[in-house]
Amino acid sequence: MMKCIFIAGLVIMFAASCAEDDTTKPADASSPYSGRFDITYQIFDGNCILGLTPDGASDITIQGDAITFGSMKGPWLEGEKRGYGRYAFGAQCPDHNPPAFCANCITSSFELAFASADSFSGTYGIGYTYHDCRADSCHRRYAITGKRVK
């Protein structure tokens, strides 16, 4: 009889822990705004033709005063429920202007504002910058929205 009560107690505890939180808010993140979001992108500006359709799920992690969206990182302003960041791909982004050689730099950036812990809107941009390469630089900007994957 005692064994049955113990097993019933474990089943109830397991069911209660599963029912507690059915969202994708990570337990170890310091902010309820962290999680996996289904993101849609709509082009609103640009002069590049990119064969890129970025719609889909992506993880956003917020810890302390930092936000990470994909490979992009930047500051998180908890009081304003917004964050922004940037990432430069590869080592071809010169740190002086103008560079002394042909260099191309690919960067991505974002700015997000959360309406709630489960949704946000903002912008995402990608740029191809060429220095002394006889090629035109270009960019593409998207308006984005995200809804938490449940």
Tens digit of each residue's pLDDT (9 = 90 or more) over 9-36: 322 222 222 333 344 444 455 789 999 9
Average pLDDT, the chain: 74
Question: pLDDT band for position 5 (50/70/90)?
Answer: very low
**Residue 7 φ/ψ region, left for φ over 0, alpha for ψ in the -120 to 50 degree band, beta for the rest:** alpha
Q: By the 8 A CB rule, do 64 and 30 touch?
A: yes
Confidence of residue 91 (pLDDT cuts 50, 70, 90): low
How is the chain split into domains, by residue range? 24-148
Per-residue pLDDT tens digits for 113-124: 999 999 999 999
| Alpha carbons 120 and 84: distance in angstroms, whole number | 12
Of 82, 52, 53, 50, the residue nearest 69 (C-alpha): 82
Cα radius of gyration rounded to whole Å, the chain: 21
pLDDT digits (tens, 9 = 90+) for 52-61: 666 789 999 9
* pLDDT tens digit sequence for 64-90: 999 999 889 999 999 999 999 998 876
CA distances from 12 to 2, 3, 9, 18 (A): 15, 14, 5, 10
pTM, to two decimals: 0.70
